[in-house]
Amino acid sequence: MNLLDRRRTVAPPGYNRWLVPPAALAVHLSIGQIYAFSVLKEALIDRFDASHTQIAIIFSIAIVMLGLSAAFGGKWMERNGPRKAMALSATFWVSGFLIGSLGIQLGQLWIVYLGYGFIGGIGLGIGYISPVSTLIKWFPDRPGLATGLAIMGFGGGAMVAGPLTNALLGAYADTPAEALVPTMLTLAAIYAVLMTAGTAVIRVPAPGWKPEGWVPSPKKNAMQTHADVRVARAVRTPQFYLLWIVLFTNVTAGIGILEQASPMIQDFFSSVTPATAAGFVGLLSLANMAGRFVWSSTSDVVGRKRIYVMYLGVGAVLYGLLASVAGSAVGLFVVVAVLIVSFYGGGFATVPAYLKDLFGSLEVGAIHGRLLTAWSAAGIAGPLIVNGFADARAAQGIEGAALYTPSLITMTAVLVVGFTANLLIRPVDERHHEPVTAPAAASSIPTSSGEPALAGATKES
């Protein structure tokens, strides 16, 4: 286990920090496969002669386990370092594929629930948070860019896995159902290699390292701080819960579009064929991935709070447009939907940097893990809102764009709630900050007043 120890991952002097992101991308590209699960769905339904719901449970278990393992594994990850966490993630994720394949081979759906869903889901959660805090520590001057790079990989993972899985299902046997096991085993092998490479390459900065020439600029009343707040304290601050609401509302609204993208555009415009709708879904995938990198990087310039004002405020206006006038032209509908989904991706990628601003980088990975429970909750709420309204309207005999009007108006309101929560976020009170450890003395030094010196005394713009 020595190879996995944090001290074995400390970067040598002069190590180029741009050599770190590929390790994060290797992990996120692998676990991002979860969003291409739908490609396996029809083959699984055939193989098990099961309903859509029975197969959808596999995905749901995985997403629930993602949230839980990120929430409860974050503290362990911070203590043991990114390499051990990435190795653990790879073990769970690849084991999930192997056990899932066994379940498919034996015709036992519960083994697939256990393998790909439960065990694989643990790998998802640990893998998602494992490189984030390391990247933030390498890029204290541009945390938005750093987290955008990593989390962009998660969006890109589905774009790689989708066509690859389709190709494998077509190559291994006459029917996709027969090709499931070799396809899953091949994917397991690819992800084992890719994640192991990421685990080997990941490096943490040496203690006290900072980018050459970078000096944090002190500025009063700014949202960014150099103080550190531990996860146990962070979850007792109003800022954590306000940010939870921000992430929950942003993800709920994005899922509202993504969940129903194909049927929605066909219901809005009778001229749109299923093939064209598939192109629309592809365009949204690109917007999702690009939004993660572009908007998160932009947040380094304009500030985290302001960029969420845009995600949530402009997002609410765009949802209002969808509900009112976007049905008048395909082009307008597509542009509005692309922007909404890019904000969804941006919200995911920017939130670790927002956490770093508020709580410092000491346990940002663990705090991020706790916050991801908002993702799990939104994963339930978003589809429920859209499908619930659409089903109820359809039962009343309503067709076309009108099917979605109540859910689009609801999403606008949801975003306004998030917008308000974001405006209420203020810097974390200094009583939550960790005491400063003086680098020269290498020990904690209380001040003459008896109060511990606070790292939060300096803030950057």
Report residue 105 as tokens.
């081979």
Told to check if 14 binds other proteins by CB under 8 A, we report yes
Told to check if 223 binds other proteins by CB under 8 A, we report no
- CA separation (Å) from 30 to 15, 77, 119, 315, 427? 25, 19, 15, 30, 35
> What does the alpha-carbon distance between residue 354 and residue 343 come to, in Å, rounded to a whole number?
15
Among 1, 2, 7, 220, binds other proteins (CB under 8 A): 7
Told to check if 450 binds other proteins by CB under 8 A, we report no
Told to check if 226 binds other proteins by CB under 8 A, we report yes
Longest dimension (CA), the chain: 78
Among 1, 2, 12, 397, binds other proteins (CB under 8 A): 12
CB nearer to other proteins: pick between 211 and 388: 211
Q: What share of the chain is helix, strand, coil (3-state, %, to 5)?
A: 75, 0, 20
In angstroms, give the least distance from the CB of 380 to other proteins. 27
> What does the alpha-carbon distance between residue 228 and residue 358 come to, in Å, rounded to a whole number?
8
| Binding segment (CB under 8 A) for other proteins, from list 169-177, 179-187, 271-279, 390-398 | 271-279
Told to check if 439 binds other proteins by CB under 8 A, we report yes
| Binding segment (CB under 8 A) for other proteins, from list 49-57, 277-285, 378-386, 407-415 | 277-285
CB nearer to other proteins: pick between 39 and 385: 39
Told to check if 285 binds other proteins by CB under 8 A, we report yes
CB nearer to other proteins: pick between 22 and 182: 22
CB nearer to other proteins: pick between 274 and 450: 274
Report residue 227 as tokens.
């103080």
| Binding segment (CB under 8 A) for other proteins, from list 249-257, 285-293, 312-320, 342-350 | 285-293
Among 56, 57, 283, 339, binds other proteins (CB under 8 A): 283
Residues of span 183-222 touching other proteins by CB under 8 A: 194, 197-198, 200-201, 203-210, 216
Q: Give the dihedral of Cα atoms 57, 58, 64, 65; nearest 10 deg.
A: 150
> What does the alpha-carbon distance between residue 327 and residue 264 come to, in Å, rounded to a whole number?
11
Among 56, 57, 102, 160, binds other proteins (CB under 8 A): 160
In angstroms, give the least distance from the CB of 50 to other proteins. 27
CB nearer to other proteins: pick between 9 and 239: 9
Closest CA to 130 of 94, 71, 89, 93: 89
Report residue 210 as tokens.
């900072």
Residues of span 60-89 touching other proteins by CB under 8 A: 78-79, 81
Residues making up the chain, counted from first to last: 461
In angstroms, give the least distance from the CB of 452 to other proteins. 11
Told to check if 129 binds other proteins by CB under 8 A, we report no
> What does the alpha-carbon distance between residue 177 and residue 293 come to, in Å, rounded to a whole number?
36
Q: What is the 3-state secondary structure (H, E, C) of 112-147?
A: HHHHHHHHHHHHHHHHHHCCHHHHHHHCCCCHHHHH
Told to check if 329 binds other proteins by CB under 8 A, we report no
Q: Identify the H or E element spanning 438.
A: strand 437-438
Size of the site for other proteins (CB under 8 A): 70
> What does the alpha-carbon distance between residue 322 and residue 325 come to, in Å, rounded to a whole number?
6
Is the separation of the CB atoms in 157 and 31 below 8 Å?
Answer: yes
Told to check if 50 binds other proteins by CB under 8 A, we report no
What angle is formed at CA 455 by the lines to CA 235 and CA 423, rounded to 5 degrees? 50
| Binding segment (CB under 8 A) for other proteins, from list 14-22, 239-247, 393-401, 406-414 | 14-22
Provide CB contacts within 8 A for 162, sequence distance 6+.
Answer: 36, 39
Please, which residues bridge with residue 435 across strands?
454
Interface positions with other proteins (CB under 8 A): 6-7, 10-16, 19-23, 25-26, 29, 78-79, 81, 137, 153, 156-160, 162-163, 194, 197-198, 200-201, 203-210, 216, 226-228, 275-276, 278-283, 285-286, 289, 334, 360-363, 434, 436-437, 439, 442, 455, 457-458
